[in-house]
Structure 1
Amino acid sequence: MTQFILHQYDLSPFCEKVRLAFGLKGLDWHAVEVPVWPPKPDLMPLTNGYRMAPVLQIGADIYCDTMLILRAIERRAPLPSLYPGGQRALAEVLGWWWERASFVPAASLATCVIGDQLPPAFIEERKTFMAHDFSREASLQDRALNLQRMHAHLAWLAGMLGDGRAFLLGDAPSAADLAAYHTLWFARQHGGAEVEAALPLAPLDGWMARVAALGHGRRRDMPAAEALDIARAAEPEPPASPDGDPSGLRAGQAVVVRAEERGRDPIHGTLVGADAEEAVIRHENARVGAVHIHVPRAGFAVQAA
């Protein structure tokens, strides 16, 4: 049986997305708690620079970004599907739109309420890493604009559910529901009544309750040291496409990988496989041995070092 190890923290909306995927599939999984902001001394040996949460570990294979994490879970536990009716492309496109349109506005509406309760070190770190100020003062200055943004996108979301369907793609929950839900979960969780009053969430209440009811599967906490030992004892899987990179990169080349939105912490390693959807980079160090770091092509730039 596949051992899913999620390096995560409970506050993160993106981690909530993956926790709900485990719930949808009724899976057992292990949680390794990582710090909310750097340093992250027990994550860096696995990712060689990638610092965003969550990260999924399966043996010595390390998956970055929730889009790719959900694909990795689906391959190993296909039923019930995250992409019912073969609608993976549609589910991923909807998730791509919603997360990029809603995350910062929704989080900023929450920090209009709780921004002065956040540690100053966290605020300063996010200014550097995300080029965004989540302090309460800055969030309140942008509140009107973020309300406009959220109302516009929420109208589309409500319209998709307007025919009475239970979930965004029909009768069954999908990855699209998890992507649309998690930023609203964060805003509601931390913005409370003020966010409820400011956003038109009533048409979405039933849908949000159905997504929340998926739960988180069966979680067990795991010490970080144990997860690193598991990686060191395992062998990474061979890539499916050693030389399928559409830009001409080939296995064996030294590469640098950057998240295009927040590329300040690049991954360095050796390309071992790639295709139009995924790139796999080999990395070695004393704590974990050899691991394969998987990144999606959408949203990531892979270039010769």
Structure 2
Amino acid sequence: MAANARSIILHQYDISPFSEKVRVAFGIKGLEWFACDEPVIMPKPELVALTGGYRKIPVMQIGADIYCDTQIILRELERRFPSPTLFPGADKGLGWGFAMWADRVFFQAAVAIIFGGGTPIADDAFIKDREKLTGRPFDIEGMKAAAPMMAEQFRAQLDWLEGQLADGRTFLLGTEPGLADASAFYNLAFVRWASPGGVKLIEAFPGVLAWEKRVAGLGHGTRKEVSREEALDIAKAATSTEEAKADPGEPNGLKPGDSVTIMADDYGRDPIPGELVSSSAQHVAIRRSDPRVGEVVVHFPRAGFLILKS
């Protein structure tokens, strides 16, 4: 079956660690989805046509609705496909907090030991691309110097996972897998793809190893493929399902129809302008148009993003 306006399309590439987080969520939920492979480095003309300038991976597309950042992707998957949930038990807030730790603290420790260990991923083109993405030097020599210390940090966080699993639980928050598992797991997957030294650290923790195998066994749902051109055609033919909605608790007075600019607060701060459609404590959606895809609505999380009234 070909992809259509109701299909989940994940703009990704296979060695993208954050894409792995979403792929594990597909496995937990047993979803069918379409992989739309994007380049690892710029230029990414098809992705930029959809997002208005956001270039980080992954991006999820459902028709003319475009979801940037794993936080909003997983929020939307949970809304559309609530069972099986990504938040088993009564720890929904803890799951989101766990994910933020994994995305920032745990991930940065993984990055340092991967690139400090001389991974072949880091060729000249990759380094130049990441320098533009972060707005600062991608200091391989500095990472090499820091790698022994960052190995200590990575090991310390692996030990936290080991402690969480010490009572024999199946997954990090209990008997069922969820967001916490997908978030921690992708960092281990990234290290396994690119850092033999990091793998040795992982394999020193038997509880983590057993849990890692259980998460890997969840799979990635049912994967199909779609080309970038096909994905753009789907967006152009579709209409967003997002309805205009004001947030009565909006702290800065934003309302539908306002011209705003959105950007990440850490790296990849490409400003994305558009017209506000809806907002809440956890999301913001803007309408924008592009000659290739027509009118689309682009969705972002609130945590980790800045919204400026134009």
Q: Which residue of 283, 287, 291 maps to 2:296?
A: 291
Instruction: State the SS of the aligned residue for 1:257.
Output: strand
Who is 1:301 aligned against? Answer: 306
Who is 2:199 aligned against? Answer: 196
Q: Which residue of 265, 275, 283 maps to 2:280?
A: 275
Deviations 1:52-81 (A, max 9, x none): 000000111111111110111112222111
CA contact (8 A) 1:167 1:177 kept: yes
> For the residues of structure 1 that align with 2:308 and 2:15, how far apart are their CA atoms?
33
Q: Does 1:128 align with 2:132?
A: yes
Query: What's the CA shift for 1:98?
Result: 1.9
Instruction: State the SS of the aligned residue for 1:42.
Output: helix
> For the residues of structure 2 that align with 1:134 and 1:96, how far apart are their CA atoms?
24
> For the residues of structure 2 that align with 1:201 and 1:65, how far apart are their CA atoms?
30
TM value normalised by structure 1: 0.94
The more displaced of 31-40 and 235-244 is 235-244
Following superposition, which runs of at least 4 residues in structure 1 exceed 6 angstroms of deviation? none
> For the residues of structure 2 that align with 1:59 and 1:286, how far apart are their CA atoms?
16
Q: Does 1:35 align with 2:39?
A: yes
CA contact (8 A) 1:252 1:270 kept: yes
Unaligned runs of 5+ residues in structure 1 are none
Who is 2:29 aligned against? Answer: 25
CA spacing shift, 1:132–1:75, aligned 2, 3 Å: farther
Who is 1:169 aligned against? Answer: 173
Who is 1:233 aligned against? Answer: 237
Report the AA paired with residue 49 of structure 1.
Answer: G
> For the residues of structure 1 that align with 2:240 and 2:16, how far apart are their CA atoms?
28
Report the AA paired with residue 296 of structure 2.
Answer: V
CA spacing shift, 1:61–1:93, aligned 2, 3 Å: same
Report the AA paired with residue 274 of structure 2.
Answer: G
Q: Does 1:214 align with 2:218?
A: yes
Aligned residues, how many? 303
Task: Indicate the percent of aligned positions where both proteins have the same amino acid.
Answer: 43
CA contact (8 A) 2:61 2:67 kept: yes
Who is 2:257 aligned against? Answer: 252
TM value normalised by structure 2: 0.92
Q: Which residue of 93, 103, 109 maps to 1:105?
A: 109
Instruction: State the SS of the aligned residue for 1:157.
Output: helix
> For the residues of structure 2 that align with 1:36 and 1:290, how far apart are their CA atoms?
26
The CA RMSD measured in Å over matched residues stands at 1.7
Report the AA paired with residue 302 of structure 2.
Answer: R
Report the AA paired with residue 103 of structure 1.
Answer: F
Unaligned runs of 5+ residues in structure 2 are none
Who is 1:53 aligned against? Answer: 57
CA contact (8 A) 1:279 1:295 kept: yes
Q: Which residue of 223, 227, 234 maps to 2:227?
A: 223
Instruction: State the SS of the aligned residue for 1:84.
Output: coil
Query: What's the CA shift for 1:132?
Result: 5.7
> For the residues of structure 1 that align with 2:165 and 2:139, how far apart are their CA atoms?
31
